[in-house]
Structure 1
Amino acid sequence: MFGTAVRQLGYAWSMMSGRRFRIRDVRALVEDTRATMEAFGSPGEGSEDMLAAADPEIQEDLTKRRLRRTMKHAKAEVPYYRHLEADNLADVPPTPKQALRGMPAAFVSELAHPAVLAHTTGTTGSPTLVWFSAYEVELMSYMAALAAMLNGGLRSEHVWANAISSRSIAQIVAERAVPMTGAGFVHLGMIDPRATLDRLATPLHVPGKQPLITHLNLTASYLAALVQEAERGGWSPRDFGLVEITSGGEVLTDALRLRAEEALGAKVFDGYSMTEVAPVAGRVCDDGHLHLPTDQGLIEVLDPVTMEPAGPDAPGMLVITPYSTFRDTTLLLRYVTGDLVRTLPEPPTCAMAAIPATSRVLGRAVDAEVSTRDVLDLLQAEPALPLPTRFAIEDGVLHVVSGKDDPALLGRLEERAGALKIKGIRLIETPDDLPHPCHVRADLIEQSFEHAAPLSIGVR
């Protein structure tokens, strides 16, 4: 008990001071938490304080300290920021995504020890490369394990499966963090949706674990692909043992979430994270707010044009500065994520009200005042359209992949699209007919043998 208290104090000291964590303390906290939960079924009194938001006044002071340290490291160690004269973060020009994508080495600290290179999926352009040190990967993994046990309810009898890109930092962290909780980890990958459903429904027959996979982590478009296949293939929630599905990386609509819960039989949670700003991440509450904790990075919502703070109930760009307490290799100041949100008109009163919040991610601006979420909300409310949803806007006309010419479907879409600022809707048969490509993460399908077409071998 004394050792645990000392480790908790060490953890709290790092959180309060903004200095580096002692990895052995964080590792020991994970082990203590797991042992306590396996012995008593709960993490114990006061354990939630490790991940809880601080009092607003304390949080403001912590933010100032962390920002000072982060700016000090960036200006002294990172070539891209070396000539910065600003002493306040508000005076630092936002860092565009194109800068990191075009010269990733310019953002790597000269004092760092790069160990792991993670890639974004590149759906909006070339993949962005982000280096991480062994310290960063270990720290993020242990903290993810703590969060999974304390906030996520992950237990040793559960089996967690990842169906995301193997190049992302989320994959690298999850395959380390989940086993620390005692739960099983399965790297499904992004294979043919039919193969994934087969694996979700196949009993595991391993000691101490649930008979079927219980937790599934994936992107929204791949979730859509699973839903489409489950509906077409006659799958039932009774075929699976899922209790929780986590979607991230893309816009998740209410229509797709409800359809997935009905098809797969598990509650779907909407999250936010990206490789460049890890470990900063958020989760959508039951009231539909995206809550982004402020202890791992500074979150700003800036007007997309002026890059000044967005006003109440106004759209803005998420701009994030990860703190150097957690990041010592690729250091970023005011990184422009490209993700639009809307500020809330008034403070939230939901169960997660202590954590700052915005609207759910709106996605990108696909045409003038139209966002990705605007279009997906319209299209995914129509079950006759194929999943994953594919569309493009050109000259104000929304082109939608429907698979066929269907006047009745077109009429329903036009009737519901009244508030959408477009000139018209055109149904097209295949993604090749779109005026420009519509890339979704579900396109990154990996090859597997389960449903591969047999090779045709000629005989002479």
Structure 2
Amino acid sequence: MFGTMIRQIRYGAQMLGGGQLTVSGLRGTVADLRATIEEFGEPGEEAAVMLPGGTEPDPQIQRTMADRRLKLTVRQAAAHVPYYRRLFADLDLNPRDISLDTLALLPPTPKSALRAASSAFVSERSEPVLLAQTTGTTGTPTSMWFSQYELELAAALSAMSFLMGSGLRSRHIVLSTISSRATLAKLNVQRSLAMVGAGFLAMGTVDPRIIIDRLATPMRLPGKEPQVTHLIVTASVLGGLVQTAERDGWAPADFGLRQIFVGGEILSDPLRSRAEEAFGARITDTYSMTETMPTAGLACEQGHLHLSAEQAHIEVLDPLTHTPAGPGEPGTLVVTPYTQYRDTTLLLRYDTGDLVRRLPGTEPLTCTLHGMPATSRILGRHSNLPTELTARAVLDRLQGERRLPLPTRYAVSAAPDGPRLYVVADRPSAALLGSVEERCDGLGLSGVVPVEDPGELPVPCHVRADLTEHSFELPAPRLQPVRSAP
């Protein structure tokens, strides 16, 4: 008990001081939390302060801490990162002049700059040990170097989140279908779940039938529940799983799933509902990216996306002017991870390209995550299309039509009379077209064009489900009759 108290005091002091955290102390805290849960059932209310947003924030203290962390991050990047040292020299800008109030003097860092020369963003004082790349579904993969400190810290923080936020326990079994190319995500989950004591299976992005079969098959492991209890998946892979379950007659009783973590792509409301119906599990909508690790987002029950203000400075900027978006206006997420959590690839005002909408008004939040800053959920990537034609708006309409195949593939193309929506359909018909047109009313489209082959789309539609990893493993055929499509 005394050791636990000392660790918590030290953790709080390090958070206030702005320096690097003691990873061994965090691992000890995770062990304390796990032991408390296993002995008493619940960790106690005092443990909630260990998580981002676990306490009611004091705006003045929050701003003071953010200013201190931002200044330290800017100065270290300007001194030790070649890209920013050159940028500050070109702008004739003194890093000590940058604060929360003057941050706009520093232009956002575009994703293209990081892709073009990732090593130019690596601190000269770091010890890189892992090169992690994004999956590249939206273009050339982005590369990031990480240190041992960053990897261990991220794993400890994730373990705390799994224990406190997700209720994961040592008896649970987690299956990940994330592409094997996502090295960082898989490594981080494996390390964090090992601290929790939970089982972990990394299947990768394989045929949905193989994943379904694995979810349904009893594991018979000592101290574990009979079947996989938690699933980590992207939205497009989840779409393939939902379609397979609906088509082949699977029911929630066939599985032992309790929770499905969805990230990496936009999760529409209809797909969420269909997944809950197919698997009988709670769906958790998450947001994370390699470049901003360990900063991550979580969607609350009211549909807000909450991001930790303790780990990074978050901005929502107009994509063209780079000025702050107003209340209710769309803008791209711009993130500055603090050097308290990052010491290798340092990024200042990194423009993620992910479009969100600032929440309207100044009324205090009432959701369960009200202690964390919030925006809308991700709307899509910034583009030249009208603001109502976001990826989320289109997917919310298309994935409500059960006659369209999952994962959804579509493209929007300019036409003389306005944007036109092309959507992949198995068996196009006048009735299906009429239904889709009715659902898409209000999006400002000049027309809807169904196509049978993704190759007929005017613009390629890449989804993470397409990163299929070949496997010789195939499940046995279902014995019960296959349901007909609704």
Cα distance between partner residues in 2 of 1:404 and 1:436: 21
Alignment of 1:213-362 (within 5 A): 213-346=228-361, 347=363, 348-362=365-379
1:383-404 Cα distance to aligned partner (Å, 9 max, x none) = 1000000001112111100022
Q: Displacement of 1:405 after TM fit?
A: 2.3
Q: Which runs of 5+ in 1 are unaligned?
A: 453-460
Separation of aligned partners in 2, 1:172 and 1:422: 43
Percent identity, aligned pairs only, is: 53
Question: Post-superposition shift, 1:335?
Answer: 0.5
Aligned to 1:441: 464
Distance 1:434 1:127 in 2: 23
The CA distance in 1 between the partners of 2:284 and 2:160, in whole Å, is: 18
- Tell me the C-alpha RMSD between the 2 structures: 1.2
| Distance of 1:151 and 1:440 partners within structure 2 | 29
The question of whether the paired residues in 1 share the 8 Å contact of 2:70 and 2:338 is answered with yes
Identify which of 52, 63, 67 aligns with 2:66. 63
Local SS of the residue matching 2:298: strand
Q: Which of 406, 409, 414 is equivalent to 2:429?
A: 406
Cα distance in structure 1, aligned partners of 2:256 and 2:83: 49
Q: Any residues of structure 2 matched to 1:192-231 within 5 Å, and which?
A: 192-231=207-246
2:137 matches 1:123: yes
* C-alpha displacement of 1:45: 4.3
Question: How far apart, CA to CA, are the structure 2 residues paired with 1:21 and 1:312?
Answer: 35
**Cα distance in 2 between the residues matched to 1:425 and 1:358:** 31
Give me the whole-angstrom Cα distance separating, in 2, the residues matched to 1:185 and 1:120.
Answer: 22
Q: Is the 8 A contact 2:319 2:382 kept in 1?
A: no
**Matched letter for residue 293 of structure 1:** S
Tell me the residue number matched to 1:363. 380
Q: 1:92 is matched with which residue?
A: 106
Given candidates 72, 76, 99, the residue that maps to 2:75 is 72
The residue identity in structure 2 corresponding to 1:123 is: T
Q: CA deviation at 1:143?
A: 0.8
Change (3 A) 1:314 1:176: same
Please tell me whether the aligned partners of residues 166 and 172 of structure 1 are also in contact (alpha carbons under 8 angstroms): no
Aligned partner letter, 2:42: S
User: Is this contact kept in 2: 1:220–1:247, CA < 8 A?
Assistant: yes
2: distance between equivalents of 1:14 and 1:163? 36
The TM-score normalised by the length of structure 1 is 0.96
Q: Give the Cα–Cα distance (whole angstroms) in 2 for the partners of residues 368 and 141 of structure 1.
A: 40
**What CA distance in whole angstroms lies between the structure 2 residues aligned with 1:147 and 1:377?**
29
Query: 2:24 is matched with which residue?
Result: 24
CA distance in 2, matches of 1:167, 1:108: 21
Query: 2:353·2:382 contact (CA, 8 Å) conserved in 1?
Result: no
SS at match of 1:262: helix
Q: Which ranges in structure 2 are unaligned for 5 or more consecutive residues? A: 476-486
- 1:104 matched to 2:104? The reply is no
Question: What is the distance in 2 between the residues matched to 1:55 and 1:161?
Answer: 38
Structure 2 residue matching 1:34: 3-state secondary structure: helix
Cα deviation, residue 293, structure 1: 1.5
Letter in 1 for 2:77: A
Partner Cα distance (1:55, 1:190) in 2:
43
Q: TM-score, normalised by structure 2?
A: 0.91
1:98 CA displacement: 0.5
Shift of 1:232: 1.0
Q: CA deviation at 1:258?
A: 0.3
Aligned to 1:457: none
Q: How many residues of Structure 1 are paired with residues of Structure 2 in the alignment?
A: 452
Deviation of residue 449 (structure 1)? 1.2
Q: 1:143 aligns with which of 154, 157, 177?
A: 157
1:73-112 alpha-carbon deviations (Å, 9 max, x no partner): 1001101100312532321100001010111001000111
Residues 433/289 of structure 1: CA separation in 2 closer, same or farther (3 Å cut): same
CA distance in 2, matches of 1:15, 1:365: 34
* 1:430 matched to 2:453: yes
SS at match of 1:82: helix
What is the rounded CA distance, in whole Å, between the counterparts of 2:9 and 2:68 in structure 1?
Answer: 19
- Using the TM superposition, give the Cα deviation of residue 368 of structure 1 relative to its aligned residue in structure 2, in angstroms: 3.3
Q: Which residue of 1 aligns with 2:180?
A: 166
1:381-396 equivalences under 5 Å are: 381-395=400-414, 396=419
CA–CA separation in structure 2 for the residues paired with 1:156 and 1:316: 40
Counterpart in 2 of 1:458? none
Equivalent in the alignment of 1:3: 3
Residue 446 of structure 1: how far off its partner (Å): 0.9
Q: 1:47 — aligned with what? A: 47
Q: Tell me, what secondary structure is at the counterpart of 1:146?
A: helix
For residues 340-360 of structure 1, the C-alpha deviation after alignment (integer angstroms, 9 at most, x for no partner) is 001111243222222111111
Q: Distance in 1 between matches of 2:382 and 2:371?
A: 30
